[in-house]
Structure 1
Amino acid sequence: MQKIQTQGVHHITIMGADRQTSIDFWEGVLGMPFIFDQPNLDNPDEGHLYFDPGDGRLITIFTNESRESVHDRTPTDAGCVHHLALNVSKASWSQVVKRLDARGIPHSGPKDRGFMDSIYFKDPLGFLIELACYRFEPPEGCRHADVMIEAHRIRVERGDYNIGEEHLADAIELLVTRTQQSLSDDRSPKDPYKRG
């Protein structure tokens, strides 16, 4: 028996309401370019809209003109999707509260997650959206996941409750030492400000 190895998220499809509500939210609120439009090939009564969330992957929406927008929370039962987290830059993150407030969109306010900052709000159908901003950039040639696993190991070794910025900084230093070459034989910390 062997695994079926995945290599990333291809796309995520969400049940939407009418076509215009979907376009107005995904492009008009979240800025995702509307890039492809065709019928749902498994249900001719539905449309299938495609949006680019910013990384070249896809968010797709099944639309139906007879479905109405609702403002309740979508189900959070076992097996249901709890929320969708989207990455934003620090510059965009600093504007999120102001821009949601300007539209009258209720939100959670900023949440400190240790390794990232988050804010939550619902789409017009009650689906929970998270906008997340990492507090770190991975070293060249590494991914966010590489930093996260090393920070996790450091956190566990130290007995800390959750990942914090110190764990991230130490993980980044470890990854740079491990993955990037140096002509120095000794790469340990030094004090070039010798006093006395």
Structure 2
Amino acid sequence: MTRSESRVQVQGLHHVTIVGSTRQSAIDFWEGALGMPFVFEQPNLGNPAENHLYFDPGDGRLLTVFTDEGRTDAGRDAPREPGTVEHLAFTVSRATFQLAPARLRARGIEVLERDRGFMDSIYFRDPNGMKVELACYKFQTPEGWRDADVLRRAFELRVARGDANITAEHLADAIEDLLRR
């Protein structure tokens, strides 16, 4: 690889920032409904008319929300077009996953549950119409490996077998392969 072909190597997701409506709406949803502890706030240094709220989604990284007391909740689905985020997905335990639909519905939040083959998903919308997902893998990653390692190997097995999507069999065989290494 020549110098002109070198690339920047990212090492993980640092944070995600979304545009919200009011401070209280953001706190009620991200901390109240989803249990993400409120960490701190300060003015949006790029736009002092907005406030910048920081929440911990559980892994020590941050989800941040720009708020403005002059805005109201959008009350519509967020746009889905090139250049926009389709949804944000958060990892939850199997126990939380099983309880989440009832807890969200109790707050008046509509949910859609889906089996994705290698994981289960619950979809719903934040107060501004952005789609949010709670995801729970159907496998336990072996010590010393990462979720992506299991999924990469399961994908290779799926393709080699000509299957349409990753199934429990691909996951089990992928884990077995990784443990033999």
Asked if Structure 1 and Structure 2 have the same fold, meaning a TM-score greater than 0.5 normalized by the shorter chain, the answer is yes
Flag as ranges the 4+ runs of structure 1 deviating above 2 A: none
How many residues are paired up? 177
Q: Does 1:16 align with 2:20?
A: yes
Q: Does 1:62 align with 2:66?
A: yes
Per-residue CA distance 1:133-171 (angstroms, 9 max, x = gap): 011111111000000000000000000000011100000
* 2:168 aligned residue: 165
How far did 1:44 drift? 0.6
Q: Runs of 5+ in structure 1 lacking a partner? A: 179-196
Larger radius of gyration: 1
Partner SS state of residue 86, structure 1: strand
Q: Runs of 5+ in structure 2 lacking a partner? A: none
* 2:141 aligned residue: 138
More helix by share: 2
CA distance in 1, matches of 2:38, 2:18: 15
Partner SS state of residue 95, structure 1: helix
Q: TM-score, normalised by structure 2?
A: 0.96
Partner SS state of residue 36, structure 1: strand
- For 1:1-196, list aligned pairs within 5 A: 1=4, 2-108=6-112, 110-178=113-181
Q: TM-score, normalised by structure 1?
A: 0.89
Quick check: 4-13 or 94-103, which moved more? 94-103
CA distance in 2, matches of 1:93, 1:107: 12
Per-residue CA distance 1:8-34 (angstroms, 9 max, x = gap): 000000001010100110000000000
CA distance in 2, matches of 1:91, 1:105: 19
How far did 1:177 drift? 0.5
Contact 2:31 2:38 in 1 (8 A): yes
How far did 1:104 drift? 1.8
